[in-house]
């Protein structure tokens, strides 16, 4: 893993350009965390989305790789940029990182990106993640994001990958214990994806 230090100017510039991207109170990664930007309306939200979408298409694959080598703030931002621009060449890497679950919060971005890629391979990655982590009550990781993303892909494809997790007394019910609603998780992914699709056209 690369760490943001002055001895790594390439990484520091990528973080400055894409991750913090503004004053301390307006850091991009904080607005991406949990999809916080979606909870507020107004010109600041529109400007945030426009800049996010522009950067998603301008950032190079090399810069994305640099950010994915770093800590969670860089990884969650890189994953969002990958998802917005639908760069499926990062699919395998995102899947490996999601299953490893090494860092807090970054998995949210991986799930969003896989939902946006929206292919059968992405559904398989999310299914593997849920198979591994839903049986583990000790792991409060990114299961809600993964299920929401899988439901999003199911609707996109007319598929049914998520149904076996949602059976009465099934894995989701046992893990969630009423704390999370599958339909709400899917709606959240719907809304976030819709926002970034409209980003360039927001007034």
Q: What residues does each domain of the chain span?
A: 9-201
- Evaluated on CA atoms 75, 38, 193, 203, the torsion sign reads negative
Q: What is the mean pLDDT of residues 124-145?
A: 96
**Is 50 a residue whose pLDDT tops 70?**
yes
Q: Are 103 and 89 in contact (CB under 8 A)?
A: no
**Is 156 a residue whose pLDDT tops 70?**
yes
Helix axes 61-68, 72-85, angle to 10 degrees: 150
Other C-beta atoms within 10 Å of 70: how many?
Answer: 22
* Per-chain mean pLDDT for the chain: 94
Percentage of residues in the chain with pLDDT exceeding 70?
96
2-18 pLDDT, tens per residue? 878 888 999 999 999 99
pLDDT bracket for residue 22 (50, 70, 90): low
Residue 130 is predicted with a pLDDT of 98
**Is 203 a residue whose pLDDT tops 80?**
no
pLDDT bracket for residue 41 (50, 70, 90): confident
Return d(Cα 165, Cα 18) in angstroms, integer. 36
Residue 3 is predicted with a pLDDT of 79
Phi and psi, residue 77, nearest 5°: -65, -45
In angstroms, the Cα distances linking 194 to 37, 65, 126 are 13, 26, 21
Burial label, 2 (beta-carbon count in 10 A; 0-12, 13-18, 19+): middle
E runs forming strands in the chain: none
22 against 74, higher pLDDT: 74
pLDDT bracket for residue 135 (50, 70, 90): very high
pLDDT bracket for residue 44 (50, 70, 90): confident
The arrangement of secondary structure in 9-201, i.e. its CATH architecture, is Alpha Horseshoe (1.25)
What pTM was estimated for this model as a whole?
0.95
Residue 198 is predicted with a pLDDT of 86
91-134 pLDDT, tens per residue? 999 999 999 999 999 999 999 999 999 999 999 999 999 999 99
**Is 23 a residue whose pLDDT tops 70?**
no
Q: What is the mean pLDDT of residues 21-26?
A: 58
Residue 24 is predicted with a pLDDT of 45
């Amino acid at each position: 893993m690369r760490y943001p230090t002055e001895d790594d100017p390439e990484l520091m510039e990528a973080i400055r350009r894409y991750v913090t991207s503004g004053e301390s109170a307006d850091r991009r990664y904080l607005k991406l965390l949990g999809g916080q930007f979606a909870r507020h309306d107004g010109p600041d939200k529109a400007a945030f989305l426009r800049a996010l979408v522009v950067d998603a298409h301008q950032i190079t694959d090399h810069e994305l790789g640099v950010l994915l080598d770093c800590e969670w703030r860089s990884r969650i931002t890189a994953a969002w940029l990958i998802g917005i621009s639908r760069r499926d060449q990062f699919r395998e890497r995102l899947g490996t990182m999601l299953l490893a679950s090494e860092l807090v919060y970054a998995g949210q971005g991986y799930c969003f990106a896989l939902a946006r890629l929206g292919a059968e391979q992405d559904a398989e990655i999310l299914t593997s993640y849920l198979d591994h982590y839903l049986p583990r009550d000790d792991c409060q990781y990114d299961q809600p994001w993964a299920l929401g993303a899988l439901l999003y892909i199911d609707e996109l494809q007319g598929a049914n990958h998520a149904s076996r997790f949602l059976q009465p007394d099934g894995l989701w019910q046992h893990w969630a214990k009423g704390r999370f609603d599958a339909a709400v998780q899917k709606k959240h992914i719907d809304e976030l994806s819709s926002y970034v699709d409209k980003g360039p056209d927001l007034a």
